[in-house]
Amino acid sequence: MTTGYCFEELRIGQSASLSKTITEADIQGYAAISLDRNPLHLDDAAARRSGFGGRVAHGMLSAGLISALLGTRLPGPGTIYLNQSLRFRAPVRIGSTVTAVVEITDLKPAGKRATLRTWCLVKEEVVIDGEACVLVPTRG
């Protein structure tokens, strides 16, 4: 079930989160959909030779949780992504639970735009951080 807010209900400091454990099926599915077949994600031997020492999830797979959060919870359904900055700070391993978090930092009533701090965590470690700007639906 989705929830959400219209622009008039938003307040600076509001936040929301969602979590997902990254599975082998997620890695395979994301590789198939995105066409990103980088051996770091799919080949154990090649990934062990990398600086990561083993396979890691696609960074955009975790970042996609931010998109899911914006479109289903805060602000919610009808939200239109305008831009997103991302800094990938640490790898995500298969089996890790990623928690995406968004927090409203600015509201522009004239354009019905919201700016949100965005980040993803594995346990207490920030693995991605950034900022998003979205167009938010209004009442009626």
For residue 107, the domain's CATH number is 3.10.129.10
| Whether pLDDT at 140 is above 90 | no
Average pLDDT (30-41) is 95
pTM reported for the whole predicted model: 0.93
Beta-bridged to residue 125, according to DSSP, are 122
Residue 13, in any domain of the structure? yes
Number of domains, the chain: 1
Q: What CA–CA distance (Å, rounded) separates 85 from 65?
A: 14
Nearest C-alpha neighbor of 102 from the set 1, 5, 23: 5
> Do the bridges between strand 80-88 and strand 15-21 make them parallel or antiparallel, or are there none, so unpaired?
unpaired
Per residue in 65-110, pLDDT tens?
Answer: 999 999 999 999 999 999 999 999 999 999 999 999 999 999 999 9
pLDDT of residue 1: 43
